A and B are shown apart, each in its own frame.
Chain A
C-alpha cells in the first residue's frame, strides 16, 4: 500500500519541479529539449493587458501611443491632450497645467479621472484637481494613454465624470538598459531624465530619476522645479502570477504670488510626496483574471507667508494689516481594489470589482483647524460585455458608490455597438455619472487672523478675524446624464480610422461658490448651483498611409447652454487640430501640430481668451554610435504669434527647446 503513495508523491514533486523550472528565469539551457515544447510559460497577454479593439470599446477612445508621445513634441504630459478632440489645455495659476473636456473647468479642473497604472492622480486637497506637475512620470516611460471621451463611472469610478485619462506605463522588461536625456530651451527650460532598467532574479525593474524646471510665463513669479524618482518592478511569481511594484517620490518647488500684491505676495511653495503601490495579477484562464491593486500615497505642501494690506481711514495715517498664513498641508490616500475579469460564456465577458478608499487632508488654512479631515468610500462596479449577435455588442455596466458624506449613488451605463460589416461600427449609448464633492467643498472654513498696526483705538480689537470661505456642507454630488451616437470607420487598406461622435451631456447640481450675504464677512459657500446642457459633435481622423507618415485631423463643435454665462462660455465652440508626422531621408523625422481654438473663457480666475492659433514643430535626427542609440530633437512650440493662456496676461510666446537622448 505504501508504494503507490510514494510514487504519487514523487510524481507531484516532479511536476512541481517542472513548474518551477518553467517559471524561473534566466536559466535557459543551451540546447533544445522536449521541455521547450512541454513547459508552462507565463501568461503575458492576460485579459487586462490586451487592448480592447476600438470597434468593441464602449464609447469613443483616443489612443496616444508611445510613438505619438515621442513625435508630438510634448514636453509635459498635459501638452499631449491638445491632440484629443474636444480637449482644452492651458497653463493656469502658478504654472499648474489644466486639462478639460467640453469646458466647465477652472484652474482646478476636476471633472476627469486621471489614472496612472491604476492609481487615481486626483489630489484630495482643495477642490480635488489633478496636480499634473507632481506626477512622477517621464514621458518616455509611458506605454500608451487611453483617453475615454465621455463619462464612464461604471468602469473608472466617480471622477470619470466627463472623461477618463488612463495612463499605462511600460512594463519594466520593455525599458531595459540605460537611458538619459537632457532638454534645454528658453523660458528657463531644463529637463533631465536618467533611467536604468535591469533584471534581478525573476524581476525586471527600472528606476527613472528626473528633474524638470522652467521659469513659467514672462513677468510672473511662477517658475517650477520638480525632482522625482520612480521605480517599477515586474515580478513573475509563477506562470500565472505576476506582481507589479511601484515606488515613487518627488520634491517640487513652485513660485507663487504677484509683485505688488500684499494679499498674494511672492513666495515659494514646497511640495513633496511618495506613492507605494503593488498590483498582483493572477491569470486564471486565457480570458479570466483576478487582480488586487493596493496603493498608498502621501503628499505634503509647505507654504507659510505673511499677507499684508493697508487700510486707510481718514484722518488717521494708513493702518498696516498683516496676517500669518499657514498653508501647510498633508494629504493621503489609501486604496485597495479587487477586480475579476471572466467569461460567462463565449459571447459574454464580465468585469467586476470592489474598492475601498480612504482619504485625509490636514490643512489649517482650509479647515481652520489642525485636525485631520477624512472621507472614505466603497465602490462596487461591474460591466457586462455581451455579444448579442455577431453584429451586435452590448456593454451594460454600473457602479454603486457609498461615500462617507455624499451618500450612496448608482451610476449606470449602457452602450450598444452595431457592426454591420467589418470595420464599420455604430455606437449608441447613455450613461449617468456623479462627481462627489471634495472635502473642501463640503467643509472649507478659511479664516484669516489679521493684525492691525498701529492698533486701532478702543473699542476696536487689535486683531480681526476675516472669514473668506465657510462651507455649510450638505452638498449633493454633481450629476451628468449623457447620451451619444457615434460612428467608427476603420479602413485598414487606406490606413484610415475615422471617429465621429454626436453628444449631449446634461450636467446638474454643478457646484460653485455663492456668498453668504447675511454673515459679517460675506464668506463664500459651496452650493449645488448650476446646470448646463453641453451639446455638440466631434471628429477624429487618423490616416497612416505608410510607416513613414501619420496624419491626425480633429475637430470639435461644442455648445453649452446654462443659466450662468460663464459656464456657457467655458468651452470654445470650434476647435481643430492638424497633426502631421513624416519620416524624411537620413532618418530625420518632422512633425507639425497646428491648433485652431475659438474664443472661450475658463471658469474661476480666467479672462476671456480670443480665438487663437498655435503651431508646434519638431525635427528629430536619430543617430547610432556603436551600442549607443541616440536622438537629437529640436522643438518649437507656438512658432507664430504669441497668444494668451488662461489669462490675458499669461502670454505664451514662442518656446524652443532641444533634447538629446541616448540609450545603451
Chain B
C-alpha cells in the first residue's frame, strides 16, 4: 500500500494506437486503483517517457516490448500481448543486472490446448503439427502435455517455405487433427487457404488459436481476448504495486473457446457448444 499512497506511477507503452492495444490498456486501467497515475505512450512517441520515473513499465505487444527491453532500464517491466517465444527471445537478450521483467503470453498452455482437444474431438488420438525449421524449445513440453491427455503428437518439419504444401500432404494421412501453432512462416494469411482446403479435403479438422481461425474454417479455437489479457495485467500490477515484486511470467488466465459448428457438421463431427466446452475445460483445469 505504501507504493500506492505515494501516488505510484505506471507507464504503458503500446505497440500501436487503437484496436487490441488500447483494449488491453483500458482493461488494465480499470483494474487499477484510481489513485495510481497511469501514462499512455506508444512506440512512435517513446520520447515522451524521457524524464518520467514510473514504478512499473508495461509493454503491450511485441514491438513495445522490444523497444522497452532494449532501452536503458529504468523500472521493472511487464510485457503483455505477445507470444511466449517473443518474450523468451527478449529475456535471453536482456542484461543480467537489468530490472526484473515478467510477462503474460498470448499462447495458451499446452496442457489446456490438449485438454480442449480431448473435450472437443474425443475420438481424435493423433495431433499433427507443422514445425518451422530451427530449434523447437517447446516441442517436448507439447509432447508431454499430449501424452498426459492420451494424445500423440505427429510433427513434421517444414525445411523450406515452399515445402509447406508437400509436408502437409505427408502429414495429413497420419493424423486426426491439425493443430495450428503461431509460426508465421507456416501459418499466415497467405498459406491458411491452402492449409485449410488440404486438410478439409482429407476430412481433417484444424484447431486454431484465434477467433480469425474459427472464422476461416478451424473447427475450434482457444484464445484470450485483449480485454482478458488486460484484466490479468491489471491484477498482476496490483499485486506488484502492493508487494513491490512482479509475479513470474504466466500464460493467460482467462480464455475463450470458439467453435465453427458448420465446419463440424460438414466434417460429420458432433461438437459441443462453445459454452459447454469452456465450462468443461475450466472444470478440468
Within 8 A of A (CB), among B160-192: 165, 173, 182-185, 187-192
B83 touches A173 (CB 8 A): no
Q: Scoring A residues 308 to 326 as 1 if CB is less than 8 Å from chain B, else 0, what string do you get?
A: 0000000000000000000
When chains A and B are docked, how far (Å) is the Cα of A422 from the Cα of B20?
Answer: 42
Query: In residues 104-155 of chain B, which contact A (Cβ within 8 Å)?
Result: 106
Task: Decide: B266 and A47 in contact? CB cutoff 8 A.
Answer: no
The contact string, 1 if C-beta is below 8 Å from chain B, for chain A 4-46, is: 0001001100110010001111111111111111111111110
Tell me which residues across on chain B come within 8 A of A173, comparing CB atoms. 193-194, 197
Say whether B184 contacts A28, CB under 8 Å.
yes
B103, chain A: closest CB distance, angstroms: 12
Chain B, Cβ-Cβ closest to A13? B18
Task: Name the A residues within 8 Å of B184 (CB-CB).
Answer: 28-33, 35-36
Q: A10 and B216 in contact (CB under 8 A), knowing A33-B86, A36-B83?
A: no
The reply on B17 being an interface residue by CB < 8 A is yes
Q: Report whether B189 and A42 are in contact in the complex, using a CB–CB cutoff of 8 Å.
A: yes
Is there contact, CB below 8 Å, between A10 and B189?
no
Q: Chain A interface: which of B4-12, B94-102, B206-214?
A: B206-214
Q: How many residues of A contact B (CB 8 A)?
A: 54
CB neighbours of A30 from chain B (8 A): 184-185
Residue of A nearest to B20 (CB): A38
Is B265 a contact of A176 with CB atoms below 8 Å?
A: no
Query: Which of chain A's residues have a CB closer than 8 A to the CB of B190?
Result: 24-28, 202
Q: Which residues of the partner chain B approach A2 to less than 8 Å between Cβ atoms?
A: none
Chain B, residue nearest A55 (CB): B268
Residue of A nearest to B226 (CB): A38
Is residue A143 contacting chain B, with contact meaning CB distance below 8 A? Answer: yes
Check if A236 is an interface residue, CB within 8 A of chain B: yes
- Contact residues in A for B250 (Cβ distance below 8 Å): none
Knowing A14-B18, A14-B19 are in contact, say whether A37-B182 is a contact too (CB < 8 A).
yes
Whether B262 and A50, one on each chain, are in contact in the complex, defined by CB atoms closer than 8 angstroms, is: yes
Q: Which of B89, B106, B183, B265 interacts with A34 by CB under 8 Å?
A: B106
A566 contacts chain B at the CB level, 8 A cutoff = no
CB-CB under 8 A from A143, the residues of chain B are: 201
A34 and B223 CA atoms in complex are apart in Å by 12
Residues from chain A with a CB closer than 8 A to the CB of B62 are 33-34
A625 in the interface (beta carbon within 8 A) = no
Complex contacts, B83 vs chain A, CB 8 Å? 32-34, 36-37
Q: Do the beta carbons of A14 and B17 come within 8 Å of each other? A: yes
Within the complex, what minimum Cβ distance (angstroms) separates B85 from chain A? 5
State whether B216 touches A34 (Cβ < 8 A): no
Asked if A56 lies at the interface with its beta carbon under 8 angstroms from chain B, I say yes
Q: Which residues of B contact A51 (CB under 8 A)?
A: 266
Q: Given A33-B63, A66-B201, A287–B19 Cβ distance below 8 Å?
A: no
A90–B285 CA distance with the chains assembled, in angstroms: 63
Q: Tell me whether B18 and A11 are in contact (CB under 8 A).
A: yes
| Total chain B interface residues with beta-carbon distance under 8 A | 52
Quick check: B266 and A53 within 8 Å, CB to CB? yes
Q: Is the CB of A40 within 8 A of B212?
A: yes
Residue A371 at the chain B interface, CB threshold 8 Å? no
Cβ–Cβ contact B185 & A28, under 8 A:
yes
Report Cα–Cα, A575/B103, bound state, in Å: 69
Does B82 reach chain A (CB closer than 8 Å)? yes
User: B173: which of A15, A32, A204, A547 is its contact (CB, 8 Å)?
Assistant: A547
Within 8 A of B (CB), among A140-189: 143, 171, 173-174, 176
Query: Is A31 in contact with B212, judged by CB distance below 8 angstroms?
Result: no
Question: In whole angstroms, what is the CA distance A44 to B212 when docked?
Answer: 11
How distant is the Cα of A45 from the Cα of B201 in the complex, in angstroms? Answer: 11
Contacts of A283 in B (CB 8 A): 215
Q: Is the CB of A11 within 8 A of B17?
A: yes
Q: Is A610 an interface residue (CB 8 A)?
A: no
Question: Which B residues lie within 8 Å of A286 (CB)?
Answer: 214-215, 260, 262
Query: Please, which residues of chain A bring their CB within 8 A of the CB of B232?
Result: none
Q: Which residues does chain A contribute within 8 Å of B85, judged by CB atoms?
A: 31-32
Given that A33-B83, A36-B182 are contacting pairs, would A41 and B192 also be in contact in the complex, using a CB cutoff of 8 Å? yes
Residues on A with C-beta less than 8 A from B61 are 33-34
The yes or no answer to A492 lying at the interface (CB within 8 A) is: yes
Q: A31-B89, A33-B83, A547-B173 are in contact. Are A422 and B270 (CB under 8 A)?
A: yes
Q: Is the CB of B82 within 8 A of A43?
A: no
Query: Which residues of B from 45 to 67 have beta carbons under 8 Å from A?
Result: 61-63
State whether A42 touches B18 (Cβ < 8 A).
no
Give A24 to B183 CA distance when docked, in angstroms: 17
Any A CB within 8 A of the CB of B158 = no
Docked-complex contact A42 and B193, CB < 8 angstroms: yes
Question: Counting CB contacts under 8 A, is A239 at the interface?
Answer: yes
- Please report the C-alpha to C-alpha distance between residue A401 and residue B156 in the assembled complex, in whole angstroms: 53
- Given contacts A14-B16, A37-B83, whether A32 and B262 have CB atoms under 8 Å apart is no
| A46, closest chain B residue (CB) | B217
Query: Does B260 contact A236, Cβ atoms closer than 8 Å?
Result: no
A142 to chain B, nearest CB (A): 12
Contact of A22 among B173, B185, B189, B198 (CB under 8 A): B189
Complex Cα spacing A461 to B165, Å: 74
Given contacts A38-B210, A44-B192, A173-B197, contact A33 B265 (CB under 8 A): no
* In the complex, B196 has a CB within 8 A of chain A: yes
| A-side contacts of B197, CB under 8 Å | 44-45, 171, 173-174
Which of A11, A23, A28, A29 has the most C-beta atoms of chain B within 10 angstroms of its own C-beta? Answer: A28
A45 touches B263 (CB 8 A): yes
Is A34 a contact of B15 with CB atoms below 8 Å? Answer: yes
Q: In the complex, what residue of chain B is closest to A7 when comparing beta carbons?
A: B17
Chain A residues with CB under 8 A of B187? 36
Q: Which of B20, B63, B187, B215 has the most CB of A within 10 A?
A: B215
Chain A interface (Cβ < 8 Å from any Cβ of B): 7, 10-11, 14-15, 18, 22-45, 47, 50-53, 56, 66, 143, 171, 173-174, 176, 202, 204, 234, 236, 239, 283, 286-287, 422, 490, 492, 547
The 3 closest A-B CB pairs, nearest first, are A45-B217, A25-B190, A11-B18
A25-B189, A32-B85 known; 18 new pairs, CB 8 Å cut-off, are A10-B17, A24-B189, A31-B85, A31-B184, A32-B184, A33-B62, A33-B86, A34-B20, A36-B188, A39-B212, A42-B216, A44-B217, A51-B266, A66-B201, A171-B197, A236-B189, A286-B260, A490-B268
Would you give 8 A-B contacts (Cβ < 8 Å), ordered by A? A14-B18, A30-B185, A32-B184, A40-B212, A43-B215, A53-B266, A171-B193, A173-B194
